[in-house]
Amino acid sequence: MRDLTTGKEATVIFRFALPMVFGNLLQQMYQVVDSIIVGNFLGKEALAAQGASFPIFYSLIAFVIGIGSGATVVISQYFGAKDFKKVKKAIDTIFIFLFFMSIILTTIGIMFSEEIFTLLKVEDVVKPLAISYFNIYMTGLVMFFGFNGTASVLRGLGDSITPLWFLLISTVINIVLDILFVVIFHWGIEGAAIATVIAQGIAFISGAVYLSYKHQIISFKIFSLQFSRSIFFKSLRIGLPTGFQQTFVALGLLAMVRIVNNFDTNVLAAFTIASRIDALAAMPALNLASALSAFVGQNMGAGRIDRIRKGFISTLLMSFALSIIVIIGVYLWSEQIIGIFNKDPMVIEYGINYLRIVSSFYIIFSSMFVIHGTLRGAGDTLIPMFISLFSLWIVRIPLAVSLSKHFGVNGIWWAIPIGWSMGLLGSYLYYLTGKWKTKGVVRE
């Protein structure tokens, strides 16, 4: 556990973010490795099936992740205030919530998977593969929630290093099992899903066992967990807007897949590949924003508003520098990167266009998330939710539909950074009002 209320702001945030960057890059490798192996050994149809599955999975879990983020803010603020009894209650509460939601969502996802893929108008050649992959993937949801809940709690407590080691182990296992199940055993796309579920399960179980013995404040003894209604409702107050925001963002991804499906399998395969690369490229900035959120949460709890502004500026400058490096790399080597996943010339062409259009705006994207990290850490999530929904559903989705009719596939790609630009403008204007400074949990 680490106290983020002392020390030079930029150094504290960078050191806290660095393990998170590596950890989340490893977590993204689950998807990347699956896609590389699937794209090369099973073909573009299987790759498109993966691409169609992920937004549905994300849509089902997004609301719960948002609630969980609210609990993380509560934990970090109580930790900053040195109220360890309430920290323990908050941790117990979030794990109980995550367990029951994982059971409910797994049941719903598997029961209605065929209807969902039909609604999205996934091509007949892709749909059976997508349903098989998705159903197997959903069986590992309890492990997914368990590990991500553990990692989020630790970050709220200032520990960003421990989750990294368990992610490293699970990523290596995932790569080995992918090769074993898909390349050697020829289990098809189902093998890729099974590999990921097993890897996530090992990450959660090993992390839970280790932490139960290592950290007194975290306990996974099932019968000793206590649910606190008051802390849960505080988490809801912060997490509900984020939950709704995450849900509508996820539904926005589904809408994008639906728009992409107006074209052929090549476009969906390219969208799948480019989205994976996009997620990796954006990861450093996203993790700086997450580190800033924990930093802001602890300093809000400690009443150190002066440190928050300095931390915000430092994080913004770091994200600028990282974004420029990523833009240059993606722009220069986009063809080679796309080719790692699939060799089809049309898939490569569509993927290159996506990356070169979207990557040019990574500075805007990272700046928006740094602002959101500040607001979220302070416990102010309602207005950012409305800003995100506006930029997505009023700007990006309608533009994607309209521009795709006039400019084809590239019109869809251009709608993404235009939406980001509107989101950044609204977020920055709200940050300047300073109303987020009054939203602390501990003050209540």
Q: Is the per-residue pLDDT at 444 higher than 50?
A: no
121 located within any domain: yes
pLDDT at 191: 93
CA distance 34 to 122: 20
Query: Is residue 274 domain-resident?
Result: yes
Q: Taking each helix axis from N to C terminus, what angle separates 229-260 and 382-389, rounded to the nearest 10 degrees?
A: 10
**Cβ-proximal residues to 256 (8 Å cutoff; 6+ apart), any chain:** 55, 271, 397, 400, 412
Q: Is 1 part of a structural domain of the chain?
A: no
CB 40, CB 182: distance < 8 Å: no
Phi, psi of 6 (to 5 degrees): -130, 160
Q: What is the pLDDT of residue 19?
A: 78
Residue 444 lies in a domain: no
Question: What number is the average pLDDT over the span 213-234?
Answer: 73
pLDDT tens-digit profile of 289-305?
Answer: 888 988 888 888 777 88
Asked whether 194 and 38 are in contact (CB, 8 A), the reply is no
Q: What is the pTM of this model?
A: 0.74
- Number of separate domains in the chain: 1
Rounded to 10 deg, the angle between the 409-433 and 397-407 helix axes is: 150
Q: What pLDDT is attached to residue 32?
A: 79
Q: Which whole number is the average pLDDT over 218-244? A: 76
Query: Contact at 8 Å (CB) between 95 and 156?
Result: no
pLDDT interval class at 1 (50, 70, 90): low
Q: Is the pLDDT confidence value at 85 over 50?
A: yes
| Confidence at residue 223, expressed as pLDDT on a 0 to 100 scale | 63
Residue 318 pLDDT class (50, 70, 90 cuts): very high
Give residue 28's domain range.
9-438
- Residues in CB range of 137: below 8 A, 6 or more apart: 53, 57, 193, 196, 197
Provide the H-helix boundaries in 261-304. Answer: 265-301
The answer to whether residue 347 is domain-embedded is yes
Question: Which CA distances in Å does 429 have to 390, 426, 435?
Answer: 14, 5, 11
Which pairs count as long-range contacts for 262-266, CB under 8 Å and 24+ apart, including other chains? 262/404, 263/408, 263/409, 265/44, 265/45, 265/48, 265/123, 265/125, 265/126, 266/44, 266/344, 266/346, 266/347, 266/350
Looking at the domain assignment, is residue 44 inside a domain?
yes
Tell me the percentage of the chain whose pLDDT exceeds 70: 94
- The predicted model gives 206-232 an average pLDDT of 73
Q: What is the DSSP letter of 139?
A: T
pLDDT of res. 346: 92
Q: 5 CB contacts (<8 Å, ≥6 apart)?
A: 80, 298, 299, 302, 304, 307
Whether 350 maps to a domain, the answer reads yes
In a domain, 2, yes or no: no
Q: In the predicted model, is pLDDT for residue 442 greater than 90?
A: no
Mean pLDDT of the chain: 85
| Sequence-distant (≥ 6) Cβ neighbours of residue 386 within 8 angstroms | none
